Chains A and B, each alone.
Chain A
């Protein structure tokens, strides 16, 4: 067990994968000579060479599709897309091929592809580099969506994705890369589709994932000062979604606040809320609440961006309003 940044945890897992399996290769824009736009793959080109750490042209649709083809051809490609906004250029290959080939071929094909990309705001990168669109991808059957929130998961969920016979998309919140956490470099893959209770409590379930987990935990600390014990759930995987853990928590607390950096309308939070209605209606002692991003393309100015994103006071406020306490 050692302390390590989220970025280093991914790099250590990448290195391990490249070392252990000759079928693995990394491909994406500036993953090689530049070391990755977020420096995740820094040093890997030197260690593994340009065949296995491949810089691609700015052709998201085609290099993602090539990842699909290479997976069909027996490789274990890892495709890095610089940010989720750029992944929109690859939606054809993601939605029409990665997600469908297994089914459309009557089960003959499988696509063991790993796609990594950054998501989320908070770095004043404005409206074409800051959105959280993982909820869109979670809509699609045939692919899996994981959202590591801590360094250990950045490693564990990546290793799990690499062992998965189906396409797995990893969304890395860009503000998390420098955040340090305890990582066991000997640990094997995590389980995809398993949520975790990051903090136990009995007053309300705060359900979140990825970049907002830290904010939810901070809000829980503030609430604890007033004796309100919030349970914080880290979803870790959006598809498959661990409904069981969500419902078990709500059955204990009878209240749920969902924190999601996506826009509120048609957000992933809406899906979680619906699951609670379907499976936990008679446990609820208050309407489910959501803390999401404001319905606006991400503004550049700091104070405006802060106002657009879910923040700790908003989470605290939602919980207090639900409990009817104003202290």
Chain B
């Protein structure tokens, strides 16, 4: 059972996605595990063949327990050709209801209520057949799917129960952070005029589906600024910090039922804004439907949290152990701003904050980091 979150002590195996004899590639999803942070896919890090399953679905085991044995060798002989997926039965023809537009291809037709319910009950809508108009998935389809899933085993515990345990896990991590980490806090106000102007122009050139939100600029700026103050991009191991070569910015995502997760955007500093945006959207979607990968939860080297959408102007975060820093952004607001030369103008500004571990860095270095973020945001075209 892999350690997927800082204070995770045990996990429940929900489902095996591979069966003994299956060939495994690096990155394959082998199993689904339920943790305090939700349902998480377990990835394979070494290629091989799944030899034996040790832990059966439904069982809760401590972290470090062996779940399965993977034979570390390339598969020999010709593997059987994978059976073609059975063709889906065509959905019944919908009655004519002119105002309903067909769902865009490649996107599931799920009613808003059904989508919400699916997230709450841990049902993947992709596995459900819709009985609504035009094959749309409706509330009752999700409820039936959840009931079917619950029937054979007691696997997914009640949503409320999971909620309580998520709260507990966050509480333990945060309490530990405040107990052990001597935080210091810095804040600076950043003029976002150039960044927002550039972004508006940039978005005009992009197809609607590829539009970039300003959040992506903030993520990228933080990732690049870490190159200049690399000690903030560390994890605390035992009694000392260990610098991370790679920059994996974790982004705090609030969950609909309450609580939050902060999965990593891997190799943040080298991603284009468009890629960051796509991957960020994907992360949010999966975080809320319970499809995060284990590496995404264990890899962040720093966390970024933004509460601007809630109208908050500055956020002083609590560091997520074993990381040593968390960067916060508030809402972009119009404020009086004195230009060089003394002229007073209204500018969109954002408050950037840094909470950092005093064992690893000092305010001077933290200040340099925030200054670097500011400087990077003044040259948005280079992000």
Contacts and interface: CB of A to CB of B under 8 A. Distances in A.
Do A and B interact directly, with beta carbons closer than 8 Å?
yes
Interface of A: 254, 281-287, 289-290, 318, 320-322, 324, 326
A320 B136 CA distance: 15
A321 B97 CA distance: 6
A282 B116 CA distance: 7
Contacts of B111: 284-286
Contact of A282 (B94, B97, B113, B131): B113
Interface string B224-254: 0000000000000000000000000000000
Nearest to A264: B99
B114 interface: yes
Interface in B109-151: 111-116, 131-133, 136, 138-139
A256 B116 CA distance: 18
Contact of B133 (A281, A282, A324): A324
A324 B92 CA distance: 10
7 contacts: A282-B113, A282-B116, A321-B96, A321-B133, A324-B94, A324-B132, A326-B95
B100 interface: yes
A289 B97 contact: yes
A248 B340 CA distance: 54
A326 B94 CA distance: 11
Interface residues of B, number: 18
A285 B138 contact: yes
B138 A286 contact: yes
Nearest to A273: B99
B113 A324 contact: no
B112 A281 contact: yes
A283 B136 CA distance: 15
Contacts of B113: 254, 282-285
A283 B100 CA distance: 17
Closest CB pairs A-B (n = 5) = A321-B97, A285-B113, A285-B111, A282-B116, A321-B95
A285 B95 contact: no
A48 B133 CA distance: 60
Contacts of A321: 95-97, 133
Given A289-B99, A321-B97, A284 B112 contact: yes
A290 B98 CA distance: 10
B2 to A, nearest CB: 33
A324 B95 contact: yes
A287 B139 contact: no
A16 B97 CA distance: 48
B99 A286 contact: no
A288 B111 CA distance: 11
Contacts of A322: 97, 133
Contacts of B115: 282
A92 B139 CA distance: 49
Given A285-B139, A286-B136, A324-B131, 19 more contacts: A281-B112, A282-B112, A282-B115, A283-B112, A284-B112, A284-B113, A285-B111, A285-B112, A285-B113, A285-B132, A286-B111, A286-B132, A286-B133, A287-B99, A289-B99, A320-B95, A321-B96, A322-B133, A324-B133
A248 to B, nearest CB: 15
Interface string B156-198: 0000000000000000000000000000000000000000000
Nearest to B116: A282
Contact of B100 (A284, A285, A287): A287
